[in-house]
Structure formats: structure tokens, C-alpha cells
């Protein structure tokens, strides 16, 4: 077996069904799929049983009630038969040529750790497309989550993360004590152990992310808070790109306060928003998505910045991180 695809699941049967449907259309056959499910009451498994039955043994599901994400991934990895483990999220849709793109790249460059970009499918909602822009754009995140180039050594995320199984086992998999940022932590530990990472431009997935602004704010808030925990565990991993959301949030607040008496200063803030609007319009071709991208980008900056600041203060005054 060349590839073991692994996805943690927890309820959301419609989402998981769409994920399975996309995998059934892959144009590459040398793979297995293992779902690690923690749905209370084991209610998801009966709903996706037809997909499991039709797979003729290629799709499996492991069940343990309330199984956390990292535990779920580690459990599936132990049962996997593939040379490579590819971790995906069940809120992703996988293009038909995904594995063929991965396989072609690894044939030329046999990396130990790899990942690819995430994007929005044409059928996604306007908000999901706007969130996708905000999370992947050069103007908002420096392109480190979705671009071909990275400002640091590439660190794959858990929604699209491939690892040679022998490398995964050598670092003992995901740290089950971490509740957020566990994928970045695993990437850093693999790189520190000498394993090589690569970005595969053609290994794109369509990532739905969150379906409302409140959930999106909560998600990026946890990302920001987790960055402080990661910097404590991996010194030197708190970089200017990670501080940008907090610095931008402070800049935005000062700009709004000084609007009446220092309009020139405030114009820098509104000029940046104008660039985001124009760039998102150029990128997506939809003025509705571009306008929403202003909202989702500000939500991302304030959420991530607030999470980072609050957890930094929590470490300072309590000597430990917040409960995420």
C-alpha cells in the first residue's frame, strides 16, 4: 500500500459524506482510507456505512467515543498500512488528481514531510470563499498557508499533511497533550529530527473551514493562542509574521481613533483595506466575495491577535497557557 489517507471525524454526516464522495472519484487507486470517529453514541458510522461497504475493504472506520483529534490521528496511523500517511480533514473536498499529483512529485523529490495548498471550490458559500481568501492571500497571511512560496521552512497543516510512516513513528506521532497547533508542532519536530519538508503546488484541497463568522473568530483565536504555546515548546518559532495580526489590530484601532484629528495616518489603514478589496476582487472575480473578504480579514486579524496577546499574558501572569 502506497498511501494511507487518515481523517478524524466527529458528527457532521453530510460533510463526511461529501468528503467520501470526493475520495471515491480519485484517479489513483493505490490507497486506503481510515476514518477515526469520536461521534457520541456512534451515530455517524451507520449513516456512512453504505460508503464503507461499497469500498470493498479500502475504507475503514475506527470508533472511540469522544476521541480527540490528535488521539484519533495517532490511532489511525497505528492501523495504517501505507508507506505514507496523508492526514486530511473531513471538511475538505479532494480533487480527482490529488494523489496523482502527490505521487508524481514524490517520484522526483522523495520528501519525508509534505503538504499542499487549500482553496475554495466554486460551490462554496460566499463566506467560505471569503474566509479562504483571507487565510491564503499574500496580503493577509503572506501566502504561508496557500502560496507556492513560504516565508519560513514549509510546515504542513493537518488538513493536508503527508508524512512518511517511518518518520511519523520515529517522532511518536502527534502530541496528544496539545489541543491546538498540534500539526505545526509535529512539522517542527520532524524537521528538527532531520526529515525534509516539501510544498506540492498540485496537491490542492478544497477546504470549507467555518460556516459563520463567530466560528471563524473562535478558530483563529485558538490559532493565535496556540502560537504562544508553540513558541514556548519550540524557541525561536514566534516570528514577525505571527505578530502581524496583533500589530495590525493595534494599528487599526489607533487609525480609527485618530480619524478625526490625524486623517493622513488613518488613510494608511483604509488604503490597505482598499488593496485587500481590489486584490480579492481580482483573485475571486466576485465583488460580493471581495466585500466579505474585508470582514473576514479583519475578523482573522483581531481573532488571531487577541488569542496571541491573551495567551501571552496568561503565560506571563500564570506561568502556563490557557485551556484551549
Report, as an integer, the average pLDDT of 32-48. Answer: 93
Spatial contact of 191 and 98, defined as CB atoms under 8 Å apart: no
Backbone phi and psi for residue 213, each to the nearest 5 degrees, phi listed first: -65, -35
Cell numbers found for residue 178: 496539545
Instruction: Output the pLDDT for position 141.
Output: 85
**CB proximity list for 274: less than 8 A, separation 6 or greater:** none
Could you give the CA distance from residue 71 to residue 69 in angstroms, rounded to a whole number? 5
Domain locations in the chain? 3-116+156-209, 216-318
Alpha helices for 112-200 (secondary structure H): 126-136, 138-141, 165-170, 182-192
As a whole-number percent, the residues of the chain with pLDDT over 70 amount to 97
pLDDT value for 271: 93
Residue 206 confidence (pLDDT) above 90: yes
Q: pTM for the full model?
A: 0.91
Reported as a single tens digit per residue, the pLDDT across 98-133 is 999 999 999 999 999 999 998 888 889 999 999 999
DSSP string covering 260-317, please? Answer: TT-HHHHHHHHHHHHHHHHHHHHHHS-HHHHHHHHHHHHHHHHHHHHHHHHHHHHHHH
pLDDT value at position 202? 93
Of 19-28, 196-205, 257-266, the least confident: 257-266
Question: What is residue 191's predicted lDDT score, i.e. its pLDDT?
Answer: 94
Per-residue pLDDT at 87 exceeds 90? yes
- Mean pLDDT along residues 234-256: 90
The helix (run of H) or strand (run of E) holding residue 215 is helix 213-233
Of 69-73, 97-101, 212-216, 236-240, the least confident:
236-240
pLDDT of residue 145: 57
Q: Please tell me the predicted confidence (pLDDT) of residue 151.
A: 38
CATH fold of the domain at 3-116+156-209: Spore Coat Polysaccharide Biosynthesis Protein SpsA; Chain A (3.90.550)
> What is the residue-averaged pLDDT of the chain?
91
Q: How would you list the strands of the sheet with 59-63, edge to edge?
A: 59-63, 31-37, 3-9, 84-88, 160-164, 113-115, 197-199
List CB contacts of 257: < 8 A, sequence separation 6 or more.
Answer: none
152 pLDDT tier (thresholds 50, 70, 90)? very low
Amino acid at each position: 500500500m502506497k498511501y494511507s489517507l487518515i481523517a478524524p471525524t466527529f458528527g457532521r454526516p453530510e460533510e463526511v459524506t461529501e468528503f467520501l464522495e470526493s475520495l471515491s472519484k480519485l484517479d489513483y487507486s493505490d490507497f486506503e482510507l481510515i476514518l477515526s470517529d469520536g461521534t457520541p453514541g456512534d451515530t455517524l458510522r451507520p449513516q456512512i456505512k453504505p460508503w464503507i461497504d461499497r469500498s470493498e475493504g479500502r475504507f475503514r472506520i475506527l470508533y472511540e467515543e469522544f476521541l480527540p483529534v490528535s488521539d484519533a490521528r495517532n490511532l489511525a496511523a497505528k492501523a495504517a498500512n501505507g508507506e505514507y500517511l496523508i492526514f486530511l480533514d473531513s471538511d475538505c473536498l479532494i480533487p480527482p488528481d490529488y494523489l496523482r499529483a502527490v505521487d508524481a512529485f514524490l517520484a522526483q523529490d522523495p520528501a519525508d514531510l509534505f503538504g499542499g495548498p487549500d482553496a475554495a471550490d466554486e460551490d462554496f458559500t460566499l463566506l467560505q470563499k471569503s474566509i479562504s481568501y483571507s487565510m491564503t492571500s499574500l496580503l493577509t497571511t503572506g501566502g504561508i498557508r496557500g502560496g507556492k512560496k513560504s516565508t519560513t521552512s514549509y510546515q504542513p497543516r493537518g488538513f493536508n499533511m503527508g508524512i512518511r510512516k517511518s518518520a511519523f513513528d520515529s517522532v511518536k506521532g502527534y502530541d496528544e497533550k496539545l489541543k491546538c497547533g498540534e500539526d505545526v508542532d509535529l512539522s517542527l519536530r520532524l524537521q528538527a529530527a532531520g526529515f525534509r519538508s516539501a510544498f506540492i503546488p498540485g496537491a490542492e484541497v478544497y477546504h470549507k473551514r467555518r460556516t459563520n463568522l463567530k466560528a471563524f473568530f473562535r478558530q483563529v483565536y485558538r490559532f493565535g493562542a496556540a502560537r504562544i504555546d508553540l513558541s514556548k515548546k519550540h524557541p525561536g518559532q514566534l516570528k514577525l509574521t505571527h505578530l502581524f495580526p496583533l500589530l495590525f489590530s493595534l494599528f487599526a484601532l489607533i487609525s480609527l481613533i485618530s480619524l478625526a484629528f490625524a486623517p493622513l495616518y488613518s488613510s494608511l489603514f483604509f488604503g490597505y483595506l482598499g488593496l485587500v478589496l481590489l486584490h480579492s476582487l481580482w483573485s475571486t472575480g466576485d465583488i460580493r466575495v471581495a466585500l466579505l473578504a474585508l470582514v473576514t480579514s479583519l475578523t482573522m486579524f483581531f481573532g488571531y491577535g487577541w488569542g496571541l496577546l491573551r495567551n501571552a499574558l496568561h503565560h506571563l501572569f500564570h506561568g502556563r497557557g490557557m485551556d484551549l
